[in-house]
Structure formats: C-alpha cells, structure tokens
Amino acid sequence: MKRSEAAGYLNKAREFLASAQDNLERGRHNAAGFNATQSMINANDALTVFFLEQRASTDHREAVRLHVDVVKTIKDGKNRETLKRSLDMRSEAGYLGKTISKKNSERLVKDAVSFLGWVEKYLKL
C-alpha cells in the first residue's frame, strides 16, 4: 500500500460516520452501530496505511495488531481499547445474532467521533 492511499480510507471513515449519525437519529441502532464501527475500521486503515503502508485483511485481530504498531510510533495508545471493544461488539451483533441496543449504538457513535478525530489529528489530511 502507498501512504497516499490513507486519504481514501479517511474519506470512507467520514462517510460511514455520517451514516451512523443519521441512523442513530432515526432509531436504527443496529445500522448505527455497524456504521460507527465501520467508520473506525476505515479510520484505522487510514492510520495504518499512513504510518505503516499496510492495512488489515478481514481479520479484526490483525487490525488491532497494526493499530498497536502505530501506537508504538506515535506513543498515544488511548484508543486501542475503544477500537477493540467496538470490533467485539460488531462481531457479537454480526456473527452471534445479538442486537445493538440504543445505549450501545450511542456509545459506538460517540466512540467513532472521538476515534476519527484522533486519527485526523495525526494524519492532517
């Protein structure tokens, strides 16, 4: 991957976040939670492409590992657990058939806003 591709992932992150916020306003909590988490996945891809010129495959554990590699470089690991928690919640809803509650969808959207802002701070794209 080329570092220049990070901007594309960042734009996707922004788009999914806007969709998550819209879904939350309309009471579509599963869609809001999924889109918020997708926003974080794309933001994390932007981060890892920018710093490592790599992005995770479909394996969320790989996404967290690459995230940790970036954290070692920038020395700011405050969002590692947020990313992991969001990915775990998405997996539970997507693969185990659980429903994302209103409370959890609100938290996921809030976390995605924070995560995206944190990534933008480091990428300045």
Q: Across all residues in the chain, what is the average pLDDT?
A: 92
Ordered by where they begin, the domains of the chain are: 3-123 (1.20.120.330)
Q: What is the mean pLDDT of residues 72-101?
A: 85
Q: Report the pLDDT averaged over residues 46-67.
A: 90
Number of C-alpha atoms within 13 angstroms, CB side, residue 77? 13
For residue 64, pLDDT beyond 80: yes
